[in-house]
Chain A
Amino acid sequence: MRNKFEEKVRNISAYDVFTVDSQLQKKVIDDLVLFLKTIKTEKNKAKQKQDEKTANNLFYMQCFINAIRCSLKMWIYLKEQKYVDAWHSLVDAQEYMYYSLKAGKDIEKSKLYLYKLKEREQVIFPKFKFVSSGSIIEGGKCSICGRDFNNCEHIEENLYCGSICKRIDYKRLEFTHLALVENPKDRGCIIEEFELDKKIYDWFTLKFKRNTNNIKEMEIKVCAYRVQQLDIF
Chain B
Amino acid sequence: MSIQIKDFNFETTSNINKVLLIGEENKELQKNVFPISTTNIKKLLENNKISVGYNCDESSICYEDNRAIEYIIPIMYISTQVQILLPIVINLISNYLYDLFKGRENNNVSFRLVIKEKSKMIEYEGPISGMKEITNIIKDKLK
A residues near B, CB below 8 A?
Answer: 97-98, 101-102, 110-111, 114, 132-138, 149-150, 152-158, 167, 172, 176, 179, 181, 183-186, 189, 225
Return the chain B residue nearest A132 by Cβ.
B67
Instruction: Let me know if B9 is at the binding interface, CB within 8 A.
Output: no
Give me 9 other A-B pairs in contact (C-beta within 8 A), A98-B103, A137-B64, A138-B62 excluded.
A102-B99, A102-B102, A114-B103, A132-B67, A135-B67, A150-B39, A155-B96, A183-B68, A183-B70
Question: Within the assembled complex, what's the spacing in Å between the Cα atoms of A132 and B70?
Answer: 12
Residues of B within 8 A of A134 (CB): 64-67
Q: What is the count of residue pairs linking A and B with beta-carbon distances less than 8 angstroms?
A: 77
Contact with A along B54-71 (1 / 0, CB 8 A): 000010011111111110
Closest Cβ–Cβ distance, residue B24 to chain A (whole Å): 12
Q: What 10 A-B pairs are tightest by C-beta distance, nearest first? A: A183-B69, A132-B67, A185-B67, A137-B63, A101-B102, A134-B66, A101-B103, A138-B62, A98-B103, A155-B40
B residues near A, CB below 8 A?
Answer: 29, 31, 33, 36, 39-40, 43-44, 46-47, 58, 61-70, 96, 99-100, 102-104, 106, 108
Residues of A within 8 A of B43 (CB): 152-155
Return the chain B residue nearest A183 by Cβ.
B69
Question: Within the assembled complex, what's the spacing in Å between the Cα atoms of A111 and B102?
Answer: 10
Q: Which of A97, A101, A111, A183 contacts B106 (CB 8 A)?
A: A183
Query: Do A185 and B68 contact each other (CB < 8 Å), given the known contacts A136-B62, A153-B43, A155-B44?
Result: yes
27 contacts between A and B (CB under 8 A): A98-B103, A101-B102, A110-B103, A111-B103, A114-B103, A132-B66, A132-B67, A133-B67, A135-B65, A136-B31, A136-B64, A136-B65, A137-B36, A138-B61, A138-B62, A138-B63, A149-B39, A150-B39, A153-B46, A156-B39, A156-B40, A158-B99, A167-B39, A176-B64, A183-B70, A186-B67, A189-B67
- By the criterion CB–CB under 8 Å, are B63 and A136 in contact? yes
Residues of B within 8 A of A137 (CB): 36, 62-65
Q: Is the interface of A mostly helix, strand, loop or mixed?
A: mixed
- By the criterion CB–CB under 8 Å, are B62 and A172 in contact? yes
Q: Which of A101, A111, A132, A149 contacts B68 (CB 8 A)?
A: A132
Question: Within the assembled complex, what's the spacing in Å between the Cα atoms of A224 and B43?
Answer: 30
- By the criterion CB–CB under 8 Å, are A136 and B29 in contact? yes
Question: Within the assembled complex, what's the spacing in Å between the Cα atoms of A189 and B40?
Answer: 25
Most chain A CB inside 10 Å of its own CB: which residue of B43, B47, B70: B43
Residues of A within 8 A of B58 (CB): 150
Residues of A within 8 A of B99 (CB): 102, 157-158
Most chain B CB inside 10 Å of its own CB: which residue of A135, A149, A155, A181: A155
